[in-house]
Structure 1
Amino acid sequence: MHYPPYRAAPRRQTSNGAPSPLVFVLLITTPAVVAAAALRPR
């Protein structure tokens, strides 16, 4: 059996200025948490 020579997968380069998925999660959850805190019954 012959295996092809091993080559590491090329690293994905982040495009210039593209926000990471973490930024999207924070942008969605932060206003929701603030709104929930503001609308809590006192």
Structure 2
Amino acid sequence: MSERMKFLQDLVPGCNKKVTGKAVMLDEIIHYVQSLQRQF
């Protein structure tokens, strides 16, 4: 996994280390960012 992906994984709560596959991890990150957008 690239350094950038690891960095994103560390930034996003709930994006646990046992997620397999970049697509699943990116999906979790997208949902997190969308939830942040809805708060503002």
Where relative contact order (Cα < 8 A, 6+ residues apart) is larger, the structure is 2
In our comparison, the structure showing a higher alpha carbon Rg is 1
Structure (1 or 2) with the greater helix fraction: 2
Fold match, TM over 0.5? no
User: How does the TM-score come out when normalised to structure 1?
Assistant: 0.41
User: How does the TM-score come out when normalised to structure 2?
Assistant: 0.42
